[in-house]
Structure 1
Amino acid sequence: MKATLDEPGNNVLSPTKLAHVVLRTNNFDAMRAFYKTFLGATPAYENHFLCFLRYDDEHHRIGIINMPIGPKNAATSGLEHISFTFNTLDELAMSYLQRQKHGIEPFWCVNHGPTTSVYYHDPDGNTLETQVDNFGNDEAEAFMLSEAYSINPLGVDFTMKDLIARLQAGEDDRSIKQRPASGPRGLETIPL
């Protein structure tokens, strides 16, 4: 039976997309400057306490609010990370090199299997992931149900220097995206 406003059913309708993320900070100027650089974003609106940034077809993807709050406590519950997708490994590598010119360095590069990912911290210590999908959705789902993923759901570390060298040597993207075999890996191995 099709859900209607009179009979909505029990399953909740999924949203079309994730529209935006809003961050609160007591470090407003640094956060605003960081996200403009990190995302190549432009302000859709900003004043002395609000900044809404856009970098694609959405009117704003990141909001930043200047609030009189204490510093972030990474040892408590909260948002783990925000992830941004690039279409190709070349785009991921190019954005890495461009960020590096602005002094923005990753703290972790890892092939999770479904994605090849590069992690950064913003000025407040929030974690940001930039990634490329390694498979289509069906293949990614199958990989996430595999024994290899069950043994190591976190992935295998790599260096951007090596990834860039492989790209420059003309190695096929599919080969670079292939996660190497590995043994078990737990949360204690993730760099902070």
Structure 2
Amino acid sequence: MAINFDEDTASVKSPSKLAHVVLRTNNFDKMVSYYKEFLGAESIYQNDFLAFLTYDEEHHRIAIAAVPGTQGKITASCGLEHISFSFDSLSDLLLSYRQRKRKGISPLWPVNHGPTTSIYYRDPDGNMIETQVDNYENPDDATAFMKSKYFSENPIGTDFDPEDYIKRLTAGEPEADLLKRVEIGSRSLPDFMMV
């Protein structure tokens, strides 16, 4: 079937996937080392100022570029808030948390947003990274939760302790029970996000 490139449509054709993120840095070696450890990634190509890293079938998911004249991150400026990486299960999310912890990579914020259970980190440049697992098997159920009064009251989420979750899973508690968000009422942005 031929594509009509002149057809008038209500919306633009969506991409098939998000391919990669490129991070500009003035801290090249530290950033490359961090992302290799954080993601269990390898360099597909690397020189003195560019690194292309992957951890799956894509030729690169993260690229890091050392650009002369790059200034340090200004936290209060506009820009990308965070990038997010998904895991298939809560156990996998918590395993990666524990493995990072052993490597000295500490989380910034563990939170159950409702649609996802997430653990946030900061890289050496101050960029935020979210690692997450979907709390619902069906995206329509996650969307329904996001349209609920609970999400309207608290779109931020409820904090949790990853070590407590590991203990509870090890004791035999089902993942599905831990993925249900504990409702705490209204909540504002966490302090570390405020300027």
Residue in structure 2 matched with residue 130 of structure 1 by the alignment: 131
Q: Deviations over 1:24-80 (max 9, x none)?
A: 000000000000000000111110000000101111000000112110100110100
Residue in structure 1 matched with residue 84 of structure 2 by the alignment: 83
C-alpha displacement at 1:102, in angstroms?
1.0
When the two structures are superposed, what TM-score results if normalisation uses the length of structure 2?
0.94
One-letter code of the match for 1:18?
Answer: L
Asked if residue 176 in structure 1 is aligned to residue 185 in structure 2, the reply is no
Unaligned stretches of 5+ in structure 2?
none
C-alpha displacement at 1:8, in angstroms?
4.8
After superposition, residues 34-73 of structure 1 pair within 5 angstroms as 34-68=34-68, 69-73=70-74
Q: Deviations over 1:93-125 (max 9, x none)?
A: 110111011100001000000000000000000
Moved over 6 A (4+): none
Give the aligned CA root-mean-square deviation in angstroms: 1.3
* Native 8 Å contact 1:3 1:9 kept in 2: no
Paired-residue identity, %: 55
DSSP 3-state at the match of 1:191: helix
Q: CA–CA distance in 1 between the matches of 2:49 and 2:8?
A: 40
Residues paired across the two proteins, number: 190
C-alpha displacement at 1:4, in angstroms?
1.3
When the two structures are superposed, what TM-score results if normalisation uses the length of structure 1?
0.96
C-alpha displacement at 1:3, in angstroms?
6.5
C-alpha displacement at 1:181, in angstroms?
1.5
C-alpha displacement at 1:10, in angstroms?
3.8
Q: CA–CA distance in 2 between the matches of 1:71 and 1:191?
A: 18
Unaligned stretches of 5+ in structure 1?
none
